[in-house]
Amino acid sequence: MIQQYYEWQYRIFSPKIPPTYHEVLMQYSSYYQDLSPELKKLFLKRLYILIKNIRFVSEKNMTVNTQMKVLIGSAIIQITFGLKRYLLSQFKTIFVAPRKYTYKGMKHFIAGDVNPRNKIISLSWESVQKGFSIDDDAVNIALHEITHSIDFENRDVFINFFNDNDWHSFEQLAQQKILEIQKNPNSYLGAYAGQNIFELFARSIEFFFEKSEDLQKNEPLLFEHLQKLLLQNPLNKKYPIPIN
């Protein structure tokens, strides 16, 4: 597997991770800020390998700088932190727009989207920053869109981010939640989550990380399922994953 190759390479060459990585994360990512020193090290290593494996592109007059790569990449590392796999194998291109954008024929502006046909994740940089800066409102476009991309990849039989059984029991609960929300649009997760399983999953992940305690109180079963699926508990801020 390609990820193992990169980890081997990392061990052999032990490259110096640019200090910007730590600086950007300390400024924006409360998830990273709270991690223990050894988990911070693991986070940085994974992020370094990940960034080498993603093609970041933008509009003609905009370059994707290290700050953007680090913060956007951190969403992938955060979600997959408890899992073995963190490299995406299909969605290898991330398009960074300066601010909210729109497509031909679309009436409104959007902060991000995932295109399963051409396998491109698009994000508005302004919205990404805002998503991480306000860390307790369960609105984080990077976490949201990255969850969609992982979800799509995980549906390929050859790509396993999650344990199959854990995914199936999550899926069952999710279907139940969707029906609940459709009956009661004022329910805790909000009407948007009730659209389909993709949105329910993406919205749940935003709650899981940004309103962990609240989600556990209001939707204990959902919280438990996500914890099992992602193999991490964001309530243990210093050690969301066990250390070995």
Measured from the CB atom, the residue of 35 and 72 that comes closer to Zn ion is 72
What secondary structure letter does DSSP report for 12?
H
Sheet holding 93-97, edge to edge: 55-58, 93-97, 120-124, 112-115
Measured from the CB atom, the residue of 18 and 116 that comes closer to Zn ion is 116
CB of residue 145 to Zn ion, shortest distance in Å: 7
In this structure, how many other beta carbons lie within 10 angstroms of the beta carbon of residue 70? 26
By beta carbon distance, the residue nearest Zn ion is 202
CB of residue 54 to Zn ion, shortest distance in Å: 20
Nearest to 68 by CA among 126, 16, 15, 113: 126
CB of residue 200 to Zn ion, shortest distance in Å: 10
Between β-strands 93-97 and 120-124, what pairing exists: parallel, antiparallel or unpaired? parallel
CB of residue 214 to Zn ion, shortest distance in Å: 20
Q: Do residues 155 and 161 make contact, with C-beta atoms less than 8 angstroms apart?
A: no
Measured from the CB atom, the residue of 199 and 210 that comes closer to Zn ion is 199
CB of residue 205 to Zn ion, shortest distance in Å: 10
- Reduce the DSSP state of residue 55 to 3 states and report it: strand
Measured from the CB atom, the residue of 199 and 219 that comes closer to Zn ion is 199
Measured from the CB atom, the residue of 145 and 219 that comes closer to Zn ion is 145
Q: Residue 47 to residues 31, 32, 73, 142: CA-CA distances in angstroms?
A: 14, 12, 6, 15
Cβ-in-10-Å burial (0-12, 13-18, 19+) of 130 comes to middle
Residues near Zn ion, by CB under 5 A: 199, 202
Measured from the CB atom, the residue of 32 and 207 that comes closer to Zn ion is 207
Q: Residue 9 to residues 1, 14, 41, 44, 117: CA-CA distances in angstroms?
A: 13, 8, 17, 15, 32
Measured from the CB atom, the residue of 152 and 162 that comes closer to Zn ion is 152
CB of residue 163 to Zn ion, shortest distance in Å: 23
CB of residue 197 to Zn ion, shortest distance in Å: 11
Four-point Cα dihedral 76, 77, 79, 82, nearest 10: 150
